[in-house]
Structures are given as structure tokens and as C-alpha cells.
Amino acid sequence: MSKQPNNRVTVRNKTSYRDYYTLRNLNAVRTGSIIFLILNVILRVLYYVFPESLTRAQNYPEFNYTNWLYLAVTPIFLIGSYVLIYLYGKQKKADLVMGVFVFLFAFFIIFCGMFSSFIASADPRNALTLYLTALSIISVVFVFETIETLLLIVFTEVVFTYMLYYTAAEPMEMVYNQIISITLLFCFYFISRYFYTYKSIYFVQLADIRDKNIAIEKGNAFKNEILGMVAHDLRNPIGAIETISMMMEMDESLDKDTRENIDMIKASCIKARGIIADLLDAASNENINIIDTRRTEMNHFLKRIINEWKVQKNAKNSLVFIGSKNQVFAEINAEKFQRVMDNLISNALKFSRENGKIDIYLSEKDNQAIVEVRDYGVGIAPDMLPHIFERFSKARRPGVHGEQSTGLGLSISKQIIENHKGTIEVMSEERKGSTFTIRLPLVD
């Protein structure tokens, strides 16, 4: 059976959860104070604009008095919220003062809704909208512990009972009103607890994601450290083997079989260095979206790479470069872009028959520099094409001469091209070859 995720706030993260929701409660107090203050300012303006109409309204003196009261008290909560948010930012944790402050604001809003209902009618059953609205807002927006919610309910019921007694309503009316108030407070409790649970689950999930991200970052750091050690430990012996084989090659008395063995050693060293480079690039290119680039003339740049392949890498296939008639400039990182071209040319050679032809084209269109690497080899099966640029791709396969692949080269190439703000795509047909197309933004 699979292990179910733990969505409960444990003792370990209960303090963190309190800090989390206290800050959000303070932000809610700030936002609520601004909205409530604006509403009362608008109401005060209306009193001045339409004095005759409003002064004739029922219970105008009471509404006028409470409006001034709200205008006086609300700025205190607004200023207090800014101060406490600032203090929270300095100490990075909640304290008792912040909790009491949020509690008092919640009670203030409920009181305002309750008192307005009494002003509208001595019988609150006929004007429950404001009381119900206040309870609903507090239960949904704010997060309180169970004890805080119960205290809020008790204070609210005590004040409601006092107001009801003050109105000197009939006994039966008082009973009806009490039943309505208790019903609303029960609903308030259950809604408040529901949103507490909902938000706690959300917090636990966020905490789990954060912990997993930290673990992933540590794993990546460890992986990069291991790859660095591999590169350091393997490059030197591989370089020594390659040097010795080159020194042995200088001996003119070697027979044909020995020279072939030496060539095999050199080829194996080159392949090993390529695998190490792929692994290091896979690690070093992660999360690197900004690279150093330089304005480069692409005709000259690509010619140099192809000449290196012809001279230094002993490419037996025919490499043909068809450049642009005009100079083509692009912003590239020469080292990384050469890595891309080496990967594409290497792949083209790997899947082409001996003495086959490899064409490299450079052109410009729609304000883009377009580089194409085309081979006429075995091509790529249609079911492999969607996976060709995936890391450790399942589309990797041996070359026509048995050359092995790490499945990293094209993934690295795609990442490098995207970091150049360009694109790379492939078109292929089995037994007819493949064409890789790179598009880069042109520069003047």
C-alpha cells in the first residue's frame, strides 16, 4: 500500500504555521481597515452631499454617531497593522501582541455588523444582513486557533445579549433573537474550523514542497560535486593515456596492427572525454539561463569549426559548408555554441555511412540567423522524434559503427540554444537522413 501524505499540522511545524497565518492575518487587518475606512468616508461624504434626504432616514442620529466612531477607531487598526507587519518583518515570527491585535480587529468588525443590525431595527431578526456579513468575513478571511474562536464566540454572544437586554424587547422576541444569534455563531464556528483545516493542509503541503526542494538542491549539489571529482580524477589518466599513445605513434618501426591498436586507444580516449564533457555540461547548465555572449560573424565562426573537424578530428566523411553571401552576425557564447555544433556534427557522422556527405548551411531569414546540419544517413524513426531532445533520452541508440551514446548531447544542445534565446528543431526521414535547424536572433 502506498503511503498517504500527512496533511496535519504536527508539533514540529505548529509554530511555523502560527507565524505563517499571523502574518496573513495582519495583512488581512490592513486590507480590511482600508476597505472599512473608505466605506465610512464615502458614507460621511454622502451625509454632506444629501443632508436633507439622509437626516430624515430612520435612526439617523445613531448611524451618524457610529459613522464618526468607525472613522475614529479604524485608522488605529490601520496604523497598528502597518507597525506590526514591520515588526514581524524584523523578528520573522509572531508574538502575543500580534495575536491579540488581530483578535480585537475581528471582534470590532463583528461588533460593527451586530450594532448596525440593532440600529436598523430593534428586532435584529429583521436586519441580520450586516451581522451575518461580518461573521462570514471573519470566519473566511482570518485564521484562529480553536480557543481563540471560542473566545470570540463568547464575547460576541455576551455583547449581543447585553444589547438585546438594553432594547427592552419582549421576552419571546428576546428568545427568538437569541436562537438566531446562537445559530449564526454555530455556523461561524464550523466555517472557521473548516477554513482553518483547509489552510493548514495547504501550509503542510507548502512545507513538504519546500523540504523536498531543499533535498533536491542538496542532491544536485552533491551530484555536481561528484561529477567534478569524476572529471578531475578521470581527465588526467585519460590525458596521460592519450599522450603515451601519441608518443608511441611517433615510432616509425611500428607495424600495421600496432598502429591500428593505437588509433583505437586514441579514439577511445576521445570518446571518454566526450562522455565526461556531456556529464559536466548536464550539471553545469542546470538553472543557468544567462550566459556571456559576444557579437560574432557566423560564416567565419562555422568555417573554423568545420576546418577543425577536417584537420584535427580526422572526419572521414565529406563536410561541406554552404555559407551566406552576406555577413551574418549573432550574439553567441563561442565555447558553448561550438559545443552544440560539435554535438550535431558528431551525431551526423555517427549515423552516416562511411564517406557519406554532411552539409552545414548558414542563411538569414525573418531577422534570424539559420544554421542547418544535414546528413543523409539512417534517419530517425517517427516514434523517436518527440523524445530526441530529452535528457537521457530513450531515443538514444548506437551509431552505424556501434558508437555508444549517453543520451545527453542533444538535451544539452537544446538548453544552450534556448539560453541564446534561439530554437532548435529536427526533421528526419528513415533511410534518408536528418536535418537539425538552429534559429538565432540576428544582430546588427
Q: Per the structure block, which three cell numbers stand in for 352?
A: 552516416
SS3 state at 225? helix
Nearest CA among 32, 34, 179 for reference residue 107: 32
More confident residue, 354 or 175: 175
Cα–Cα dist 299/296, whole Å: 9
User: What local confidence, expressed as pLDDT, does residue 403 receive?
Assistant: 56
CB atoms closer than 10 angstroms to residue 399: 16
Q: Which three cell numbers stand for residue 283?
A: 550539471
Mean pLDDT of 54-69: 72
Q: What is the pLDDT of residues 261-273, one digit of tens each?
A: 887 887 778 777 7
pLDDT for 426 beyond 80: yes
What are the extents of the domains in the chain?
A: 11-215, 294-441
Q: What class is the 294-441 domain?
A: alpha beta
Q: Which residue has the cell 544539452?
A: 412
Q: Cα–Cα distance between 424 and 414 in angstroms, integer? A: 6
Question: Residues 362-383: what's their mean pLDDT?
Answer: 92
More confident residue, 233 or 83: 83
10 falls in which pLDDT band (50, 70, 90)?
low
> Which of 120-129, 147-156, 303-312 shows the highest mean pLDDT?
147-156
Q: Flag whether pLDDT at 425 surpasses 90.
A: yes
- Label residue 2 by pLDDT band (50, 70, 90): very low
What is the C-alpha to C-alpha distance for residues 335 and 217, in angstroms, rounded to an integer? 27
The mean predicted confidence, pLDDT, of the chain is 82
- Residue ranges in 167-297 assigned as alpha helix (H): 171-249, 256-284
Spatial CB neighbours of 96, under 8 Å, sequence gap ≥ 6: none
Residue 235 pLDDT more than 90?
no
3-state secondary structure of 425: strand
Element (H, E) at 323: none
Q: 87: how many CB neighbours lie within 10 A of its CB?
A: 15
Mean pLDDT on 21-48: 90
C-alpha cell read off for 393:
533520452
Do 435 and 358 touch, CB atoms closer than 8 A? Answer: no
Straight-line distance from the first to the last Cα atom of the chain, in angstroms, rounded to the nearest whole number? 62
Output the pLDDT for position 55: 56
> For position 4, what pLDDT does the model report?
45
Instruction: Give me the residues paired with residue 198 across strands.
Output: none
